[in-house]
Amino acid sequence: MEEQIHSDQFSPKGPNPDAIPENLPNSRIVLLLGILSIVFCWWHFVSVIGIILGIITLVLAQKETTLFEKNPGRYTLTSFNNVKIGRICAIIGLIISVVVFIFVMLFIFGLLVTLPFWGMIN
Q: Encode pLDDT of 37-96 as tens digits.
A: 999 998 778 899 999 999 999 999 999 999 999 999 999 999 999 999 999 999 999 999
Least confident of 11-20, 30-39, 40-49: 11-20
* Sign of the C-alpha dihedral computed for residues 93, 97, 100 and 103 taken in this order: negative
| Residue-level pLDDT at 119 | 65
CA distance 95 to 109: 21
pLDDT band at 13 (very low <50, low <70, confident <90, very high): low
Average pLDDT in the chain: 85
pTM beyond 0.85: the answer is no
